[in-house]
Amino acid sequence: MSALYILLGVVTGLLSGLFGIGGGLLIIPALVLLSFPQKEAQGIAMAVMVPIVIVGAIRYKLNAAIPVDLSLAALIAIGAVAGVLIGTSMINAVPGLLLRRIFAVLLILVALRMFFAR
């Protein structure tokens, strides 16, 4: 089973580097499919995102062909920290099945928006 988790990490890292996605989009559904509860899958994904984000941001910043606006990133990070504090304080009030369904609908809506965008 450890090899499966390492493979999940490799795929997540690869897609994070290519598309800027990974933790939430890949790890959560994969862990839920492997019978993890939704909330545990979300917690694991959050922990995994830390090294992915640090390494990815450094690699993007070192690539002169890819502009990285660190001041904009800092502003978004401020909002994200506030949001995650609120979201994690609310997590126990929302049933796992409802979280899973909301997450699935969100993924579908984002996919449709991206697919049909010009």
**Cα angle: 110, vertex 113, 117; to 5 degrees:** 145
pLDDT value for 18: 84
Alpha helices, DSSP H, located in the chain: 2-19, 28-33, 38-62, 70-90, 96-116
Q: Alpha carbon 56 to chain centroid distance?
A: 13
Q: Are 38 and 96 in contact (CB under 8 A)?
A: yes
Q: What pLDDT, on a 0 to 100 scale, did the predictor assign at position 25?
A: 85
pLDDT of residue 61: 85
- Average pLDDT, whole number, for the chain? 90
pLDDT at position 36 = 95
pLDDT in tens, 40-88: 999 999 999 889 888 888 888 898 888 888 899 889 999 999 999 999 9
pTM for this model (two decimals): 0.81
Assigned token pair, 111: 């996919």
Amino acid in position 79: G
How confident is the model at residue 58, as a pLDDT? Answer: 87
